[in-house]
């Protein structure tokens, strides 16, 4: 399999099986190894490439035209701006065009350089996607040299040294270095982001690689949000006297992060406080409850994944980004499967019987993606409201304008 070639090629993508793709380089100069996955979202490339959950991965976009609306400062999802860019590279079909959008502040190529993200264009992304679907997500190395001269020995050494994502705790690389408070609310047309002024509830969010829009969704629900590092202990969390606890998304192998996170979560479960997890937070909660996680064949990455809420019977289109999953066959007694993927029937949610604890595998905050699942933040905060004796909100109320 070959990419669109020019003489000389200024970018390479080499897979562990020897597949070699040549194309045109964009973004940062250099080379980086990672796990190669594909994402089926048609919009939101900036949010995807700043999602900390993609740490250690090279993202192939199946949509051919990426970069055509430029980049701006509002669509960044990384909270910890001091951390290195989590994503290792980006693979595209078409060349980047000049931006055509009123919100664009800079060209996509310049934005990639600032974020230290290496890119390649001119690749047959349909063929690459088909290869990943058939053979699973391979390790690979992406390289960009403006003069077309590559240090192939160094490139191949980096690929050989990359261990893959199994066994890697990447949460420590993307988490916040210190505790902070969050009060930014959701984006509104022609207004931008707001600031929360009425915050009657206190939520402590454990940051395993949190996205900004998750924190905004909590603030929209009237939550004063305190964000703590991934390595925070149960005592650290409870010292803030929270009304509820949130476990964020994040990258890497949940079993590796779970070595220090699971004991903390188990102690937090014992408090009886409402607890909500997303993505890696869902997997870590599953481990804390006694279930097991496993590596997926091709993972779920995109903004068009159908999920069924087994508690209501409704189907929602969701945003997903994960390469590990909770093994539903290992869910212990007292833990109920609440959501399933309609693509492959894999577990997409769980709850603890008789306790205000639940989690989902996907991203209800979207960004990018549909807003079908925003109700889950209301569901979580209603558990908090119930414990505080406050009137609950309808789960599927119309979102704010």
| Those residues with Cβ within 8 angstroms of residue 347's Cβ, 6 or more apart along the chain or in another chain | 286, 325, 326, 327, 328, 331, 337, 339, 340, 341, 361
Examine the domain organization and report whether 246 and 296 are in the same domain: yes
- Distance of alpha carbon 85 from alpha carbon 49, whole angstroms: 9
How many domains are contained in the chain?
A: 2
Report pLDDT digits (tens) over 115-143. Answer: 999 999 999 999 999 999 999 999 999 99
pLDDT at 400: 47
Closest CA to 320 of 378, 365, 353: 365
Q: What pLDDT band is residue 266 in, cutting at 50, 70 and 90? A: very high
Report pLDDT digits (tens) over 204-253. Answer: 999 999 999 999 999 999 999 999 999 999 999 999 999 999 999 999 99
pLDDT at 395: 87
Residue 65 within a domain: yes
Helical H segments across 356-399, by residue range: 375-388
- Distance of alpha carbon 109 from alpha carbon 116, whole angstroms: 11
Examine the domain organization and report whether 233 and 264 are in the same domain: yes
How many angstroms separate the Cα of 383 from the Cα of each of 166, 228, 359, 395?
A: 35, 21, 13, 11
pLDDT at 86: 83
Residue 400 within a domain: no
Report pLDDT digits (tens) over 14-40. Answer: 999 999 999 999 999 999 999 999 999
Examine the domain organization and report whether 375 and 243 are in the same domain: yes
Among candidate residues 106, 141, 161, the one where a domain is terminated = 161
Examine the domain organization and report whether 179 and 326 are in the same domain: yes
Examine the domain organization and report whether 175 and 147 are in the same domain: no
For the cut 90, the answer to whether the pLDDT of residue 294 exceeds it is yes
Q: Is the pTM of this model over 0.75?
A: yes
Residue 6 within a domain: no
Q: For residue 185, what are the domain limits?
A: 171-388
- Distance of alpha carbon 43 from alpha carbon 79, whole angstroms: 21
Among candidate residues 107, 134, 161, the one where a domain is terminated = 161
Examine the domain organization and report whether 300 and 269 are in the same domain: yes
pLDDT at 85: 55
Among candidate residues 126, 161, 196, the one where a domain is terminated = 161
How many angstroms separate the Cα of 201 from the Cα of each of 86, 241, 301, 342, 382?
A: 32, 11, 33, 35, 11
Examine the domain organization and report whether 181 and 329 are in the same domain: yes
pLDDT at 8: 84
Examine the domain organization and report whether 215 and 302 are in the same domain: yes
Residue 181 within a domain: yes
Residue 202 within a domain: yes
Q: What pLDDT band is residue 79 in, cutting at 50, 70 and 90? A: confident
Examine the domain organization and report whether 223 and 91 are in the same domain: no
Positions marked catalytic: 279, 363, 365
pLDDT at 1: 47
- Distance of alpha carbon 57 from alpha carbon 84, whole angstroms: 13
| Those residues with Cβ within 8 angstroms of residue 139's Cβ, 6 or more apart along the chain or in another chain | 15, 16, 33, 34, 35, 36, 159, 162, 164
Examine the domain organization and report whether 110 and 129 are in the same domain: yes
pLDDT at 82: 57
Q: What angle do CA 368, 181, 248 make, to 5 degrees?
A: 45
Examine the domain organization and report whether 29 and 127 are in the same domain: yes
Closest CA to 87 of 12, 159, 142, 152: 142
- Distance of alpha carbon 234 from alpha carbon 239, whole angstroms: 8
Sign of CA dihedral 336, 342, 345, 347: negative
CATH of the domain at 69: 3.50.30.20
Residue 393 within a domain: no
Residue 396 within a domain: no
CATH of the domain at 245: 3.40.50.880
Examine the domain organization and report whether 108 and 207 are in the same domain: no
- In the chain, DSSP finds a helix count (H) and a strand count (E) of 10, 19
Residue 399 within a domain: no
- Distance of alpha carbon 196 from alpha carbon 186, whole angstroms: 10
For the cut 70, the answer to whether the pLDDT of residue 4 exceeds it is no
């Amino acid at each position: 399999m070959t990419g669109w070639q020019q003489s000389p090629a200024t970018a390479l993508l080499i897979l562990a099986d020897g597949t070699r793709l040549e194309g045109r380089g964009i973004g940062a100069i250099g080379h980086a190894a990672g796990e190669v996955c594909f994402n089926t979202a048609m919009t939101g490339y900036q949010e995807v490439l700043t999602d900390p959950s993609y740490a250690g991965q090279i993202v192939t976009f199946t949509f051919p035209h990426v970069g055509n609306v430029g980049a701006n400062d509002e669509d960044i999802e990384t909270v910890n701006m001091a951390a290195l860019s989590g994503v290792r590279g980006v693979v595209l079909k078409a060349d980047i065009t000049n931006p055509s959008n009123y919100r664009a502040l800079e060209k996509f190529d310049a934005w990639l350089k600032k974020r230290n993200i290496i890119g390649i264009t001119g690749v047959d992304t349909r063929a690459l996607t088909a290869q990943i679907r058939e053979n699973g997500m391979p390790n690979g190395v992406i390289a960009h040299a403006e003069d077309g001269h590559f240090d192939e020995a160094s490139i191949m050494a980096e690929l050989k040294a990359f261990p893959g994502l199994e066994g890697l705790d990447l949460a420590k690389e993307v988490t916040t270095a210190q505790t902070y408070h969050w009060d930014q609310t959701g984006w509104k047309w022609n207004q931008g982001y707001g600031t929360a002024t009425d915050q009657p509830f206190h939520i402590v969010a454990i940051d395993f690689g949190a996205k900004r829009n998750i924190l905004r969704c909590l603030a929209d629900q009237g939550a004063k949000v305190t964000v703590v590092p991934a390595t925070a202990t149960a005592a650290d969390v409870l010292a803030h006297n929270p009304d509820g606890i949130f476990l964020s998304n994040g990258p890497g192998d949940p079993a590796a992060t779970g070595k220090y996170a699971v004991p903390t979560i188990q102690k937090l479960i014992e408090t009886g406080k409402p607890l909500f997890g997303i993505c890696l937070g869902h997997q870590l909660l599953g481990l804390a409850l006694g279930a097991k996680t496993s590596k997926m064949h091709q993972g779920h990455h995109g903004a068009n994944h159908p999920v069924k809420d087994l508690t209501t019977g409704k189907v929602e289109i969701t945003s997903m980004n994960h390469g590990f999953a909770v093994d539903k066959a290992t869910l212990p007694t007292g833990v109920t499967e609440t959501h399933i993927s309609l693509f492959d029937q894999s577990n997409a949610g769980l709850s603890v019987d008789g306790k205000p604890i639940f989690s989902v595998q996907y991203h209800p905050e979207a960004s990018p993606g549909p807003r079908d699942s925003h109700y889950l933040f209301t569901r979580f905060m209603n558990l908090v409201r119930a414990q505080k004796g406050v009137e609950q909100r309808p789960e599927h109320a119309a979102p704010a304008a």
